Chains A and B, each alone.
Chain A
Amino acid sequence: MNEQELIPHLFRTEFRKITAVLCKLFGIENVNVAEDIAGETFLSALETWPYKGVPENPVAWLYAVAKNKAKNLIIRNQVFHGKITPLIQQCDDGYEIEIDLSAKNIADSQLQMLFAICHPCIPVEAQIGLALRILCGFGIDEIANAFLTNKETINKRLFRAKEKLRSEKVAIEFPPENEINNRLQPVLTILYLLFNEGYYSESQDTVLRNDLCLEAMRLTYMLIDNKQTDQSDVNALLALMCFQASRFEARKNENGEMVLYDDQDESLWNRELITKGAYYSNRAAKGDSLSKYHLEANIAYWYTIKEDTAEKWENILHLFNQLLMSAYSPIAALNRTYALSKVRGNEAAILEAEKLNLSSNHFYFTLLGELYKDIDGEKAKKNLLKALQLAKSQADKQTIQVKIDRLLKS
């Protein structure tokens, strides 16, 4: 790796670690201070390395600089306020401050930050933003790009969320043993949404989208790596992510356009990720719990088998039935109806589709277009045109247009 790539790379991997450890040390009310010190540390690297050369151990160099900056700040504050902060009080010598950047403390701090950020007092959107900024080291412009909005909106959103963390005095700590299960649920929701944001994002930036998914997987893996949070539904969530991510390369063509599942080149599916998905699926099967992540992971598993078999679609239908019984969502309702068409034929599926009451949803009309394709070409076309009219994103419009073109050709 050359110097030009090195600093951005280290920023991606180390910024969040330094921020998490310092934030844990200073308390959530000083999250901005922690971010500033981490940022200044990288600024120092940018200023120093080109002249003095890259240090032998760049990570150790960054940690040393971050520690010094943190210590200086603590001492300076102490001088200003004329009082000894609790941080220094703990030490024999007032000026010896231990800042622990060991792997263990980094991992613990990041996990505890994850729980703090996913506190129910903050709106979900802001939770995702904070996670991206503090735990994934994303820049404000990158977050704005991922959400298809501007920097100002993101800045405001993060500012309000940090104020809330401060005013609610959210502690950076592991929830007590008996609360872990409850507190884990919003964390899993955020990781699930973070992954989906990358997987389904309308942003054209493929690298960024890929990174979002990988970050969500990394954070989920951190939970698995920790004994207290290595639970069945966490494993199921990671399995789901692995299965989905296995198609990342095959989902876009060289022009960045969406490639439909049926048209995907199977040889581009990542076998290693599919194997990993199976591994975590297995771990998720231990215990009695059957969360929506289990069901979705199972569905995603069947999608890793391209061949259309009766067994595949009967299983998918059964899983969507269960998923809908535990939690309704329009997209699950539409997918179930598609699976039903594979098991019982298009006519039976059309009857059920008409009861769904989703006539403002473009996926609904895309599905009807698909179901009518071999029955009534005129109706298929009418539905697809309606879908095209309702679709908002460029990617969705493109996908529907491909279907219309094919229909007209056949």
Chain B
Amino acid sequence: MDEYILIFRHEDGTKVASPEQLQIWMKQTMDWIGGIAAQNKFVSGTGLPFADSRVVGHNNVVTNGPFGDIKETIGGFIIVKAGSVDEAVEFAKGSPVLVGEGNTVEVRRIAKNDGSH
């Protein structure tokens, strides 16, 4: 069993959602993660709010965003246990992030600390 990170990418992170909409997303996300945790396959995860975010560039140039050039911004991630990348992809397909057109979930296997990667 390997660990995979599912990274949520939003096409436009600057879009402002209403508090009601946010709450619905929150609930959907919790239900989705709860379903993975009920299979004992959830490891950890967190949301990444846009408040207090900075981009540090070449020559230590710090900007507040918007995240401009990188068209997609990262809204959060979770780490899951899965037998194969396909199983991890099945988990990703249930993510409420994908309801938004243009959003994506990137699935990456996490390197083991045993030099095997």
Contacts and interface: CB of A to CB of B under 8 A. Distances in A.
Contacts of A322: 30, 34
A321 B39 contact: no
Interface residues of B, number: 11
Nearest to B43: A325
B38 A356 contact: yes
A324 B37 contact: yes
B27 A318 contact: yes
Interface in A318-369: 318, 320-322, 324-325, 328, 332-333, 336-337, 340, 352, 355-357
Contact of B39 (A317, A320, A340, A355): A355
Interface residues on A, range: 10 to 19
A388 B34 CA distance: 28
Nearest to B42: A325
A216 to B, nearest CB: 28
B65 interface: no
The 10 closest A-B pairs by CB, nearest first: A321-B34, A324-B37, A333-B38, A328-B40, A321-B30, A325-B37, A336-B38, A352-B35, A355-B39, A324-B38
Interface of A: 314, 317-318, 320-322, 324-325, 328, 332-333, 336-337, 340, 352, 355-357
A333 B39 CA distance: 7
B40 A333 contact: yes
Contacts of A340: 31, 35
8 contacts: A314-B27, A325-B33, A325-B34, A325-B42, A328-B37, A328-B40, A340-B31, A355-B35
Given A324-B42, A337-B38, 11 more contacts: A318-B27, A321-B31, A321-B33, A322-B34, A328-B37, A328-B38, A332-B38, A333-B38, A336-B38, A352-B38, A357-B39
